[in-house]
Structure 1
C-alpha cells in the first residue's frame, strides 16, 4: 500500500466516513499488493481486433487477383454473419439504461462485426457499385448499422465509429496533419465549417434529449467530445480568415461553445472535456488578439511587447495548471 493510499484511508477513518472494521479490511486488502490487469487485457483485445481487421484488408489487397472478388466477399460476409450471430446469441438485448454482460469478449466481437461490415460494404461499393453513384450511401449504411449495434449492444467503441461515419457522411474529413498544415476542408470550403458546427450542435441536443428520456445517458461523454472538437476546430479554422468579418462570428461561436463545455464538464466531472475546452479557448483567444493587433500600430510598443511575451506564455502555463487543480478539487468534493 502506497503512502498516499494509507493517508487517504486514515483520513476517511478520522472523519468517521468508514468504520474501524472497514478501515482494517482496507488496510489488509491493500497490504496484499493485488493489482488489476483489466486495462492491459482490454488493450490487448483492442489490438487483436485491429490486427485481425487489418489482416483481412491485407488479405484482400494481396490476393485480389488470385482469389477473386466473389470469394473474398463471401468470406467477409460469412465472418460478419458469424460475429453478429455470436453477439445476438450472447447479448441480453436492448435496454435504455447501461447494461453489462457476463461475456468479456462480446464488446470486442461487436466491434469486429461492425468493422467487417464497413469493409464489406466499402468493398462492395468500390468493386460492384452496389449503390451506383450515390457514394454517400456507402458511408451512411454502415453508419446506421453502427448506431443500431451501439445502442442494442451498449458498445461505446461502435458508437465512436458511428459518429465518425456520420461526420464523414456530412463531408468532414480532417486529419491532424492536414489541420496543422492548413489544408483541411474547413479552409477550402467554409460551408463545411457551418456543417461541422451544426452537427456538433445536433449532437449536443441529442444528449439533452437522451437525458430527458433516460436513453443510454452514459454515451453523453462520447457525443460531447465529438461536439467539442467539431465546433472548436471549425471555429478556429475560420478565425484565421481576416479578409472579412466572419472571424468575429466564429469567435462568438467558439466563446459560446467554450462557456457551454465549461459548465457541462463540471456537471459530468469530465476532466477530458475541461482540458480540451481550455486548450481550444486559449488558441481561439490568441487568434482573436492577433486579429485585433493587426490594426494597431506597434512601432512605439514593439520592444515592450517582445519583453512581455515570455511572461504571457509562462503565466498561461501557470494559469492552466491552477485551473486543472481547481477543477480536480471542486469535482472531488
Structure 2
C-alpha cells in the first residue's frame, strides 16, 4: 500500500499536479509513520449502537411479563426523544451539500435514535395495533423518519435503513439471501415491483445530481439498485414457470451496462465487482437456457474437458478486469 501511494505521488509530481515543495512535504509526512484511528473508533461506536439496541431487545424479550408493555414503550420513547433532542440541538442543520460534524458521536446518536424509532413503532403496532390492519404504515412511518433524518443529518447509515424500509414497504427483502427465498418465483408482480424500485432509486440519483442534493449518496442508492435489479433478474432467468426469462435477461444486460458506466463515474470498485459477478452469472444462465434443449451426448466428453479451462479463463479475466479498473481510476 505504501509503495502504491509513493508511486501515485511520484506520478502527480511528474505530471506537474504538485510542486516540488509539496512533493517533499508529502514524503516527509509519510516518513513520520503517523496513522489514523478514526476508522477504528467509528467501528467501536457503531458496535456500541448495535450492542445497545440488541440489549434493549433482549431486555424486552426476557422481562416482558414483569416490566409491562406501557413501561417498555415509555422508556423507548423517552430515550428516543432525548437522542433526537440532542442531535437537533447540536447539528449544523440541513444543507444540500455534504455535511461534516465536529463530533462523530452525533452521527451514531442519529443512527441510535432511528433504530429506536423503528423498534418503538414496531413494538407499538404488535401490541396495540394503532394502525389497525394497515401493517404497511408501521413500516412506512419509520421509513419516512429515516429518510428525513438521513438528509437532515447527512447520515449514510440511516439512509440504508430508510431504503431497506422502503423495500420492505413494497414487500421486498433486500438482502441477497432473502431475495432468493422471496416469492419472486411465484409472484411475478413482486418481481416487477423489485425492478421498478431499483429503477426509481436510479432515477432519484439523476434528479439529485440535477438539483445538487446530497450527491454523495449516489453510491448507496446505486448499490441497492444493483443488488435488487440484478438478483431479481437472475432469479427470474432460472424460473421456468413464467416465460419472461428473455425479458429479465435484457433487464440484466441493461443493468450491467449502466452500472459498468456508473462504477467508473463513481470510482467504486465494489459496484464494479458485483456488476461483473452478476453479469457473469447471467451470461452462464443465458447460455444454458439457449442450449438446454440441444442434445450434447456426442460431444459430452469435450464439454467436460473444456469446463475447467472455461472457469480458469473466467478467473484470469476477472482479475485482469479488476486490475484495469484500478489502474484507470487511479489515472
**TM-score, structure 1 normalization:** 0.95
- Say whether the 8 Å CA contact 1:242–1:291 is kept in structure 2: no
Deviation (angstroms), 1:4: 4.4
> What is the RMSD computed on CA atoms of the aligned residues?
1.6
Aligned to 1:278: 276
- CA 1:23/1:286 → structure 2, altered by over 3 Å: closer, same or farther? same
**Cα deviation code 1:117-157 (max 9, x no counterpart):** 00000010000001111001000000000000001111100
The CA deviation at 1:55 is 0.8
* 2:316 corresponding residue in structure 1: 318
| Whole-Å separation in 1 of the counterparts to 2:149 and 2:250 | 37
Q: CA deviation at 1:5?
A: 4.0
> Is contact 2:176–2:227 with CA below 8 Å preserved after alignment?
no
Q: Which residue is 1:187 aligned to?
A: 185
After superposition, residues 96-175 of structure 1 pair within 5 angstroms as 96-173=96-173, 175=175
The number of equivalent residue pairs is 331
Tell me if 1:225 matches 2:223. Answer: yes
SS of structure 2 residue aligned to 1:278: helix
Unaligned runs of 5+ in 1: none
Structure 2 Cα separation of the partners of residues 272 and 127 of structure 1: 41
Q: In the aligned structure 2, how far is the partner of 1:259 from the partner of 1:19?
A: 39
Tell me if the contact between 1:266 and 1:331 (Cα under 8 Å) persists in the aligned partners: yes
Query: What's the secondary structure of 2:298's corresponding residue?
Result: coil
What is the TM-score of this pair, normalised by structure 2?
Answer: 0.96
Distance 2:82 2:170 in 1: 31
Kindly provide the CA deviation profile for residues 86-121 of structure 1, in whole angstroms up to 9, marking residues without a partner as x.
Answer: 100011111111111212211100000000000000
Alpha carbons of 1:4 and 1:278: their partners in 2 closer, same or farther (altered >3 Å)? Answer: closer
What's the offset of the Cα at 1:20?
2.8
SS in 2 for 1:95: coil
Shift of 1:3: 4.4
| Equivalence for 1:204 | 202
| 2:174–2:228 Cα contact (<8 Å) kept | no
Q: Secondary structure at the match of 1:185?
A: coil
Other structure's SS at 1:301 match? helix
Structure 2: tracts of 5 or more residues without a match? none
Query: Which SS does the other structure have where 1:96 is aligned?
Result: coil
Which of 260, 264, 267 is the aligned partner of 2:265? Answer: 267
Give, in whole Å, the separation in 1 of the partners of 2:93 and 2:325. 38
Partner residue in 2 for 1:71: 71
In structure 1, what is the equivalent of residue 62 of structure 2? 62
Contact 2:239-2:245 within 8 A present in 1 as well: yes
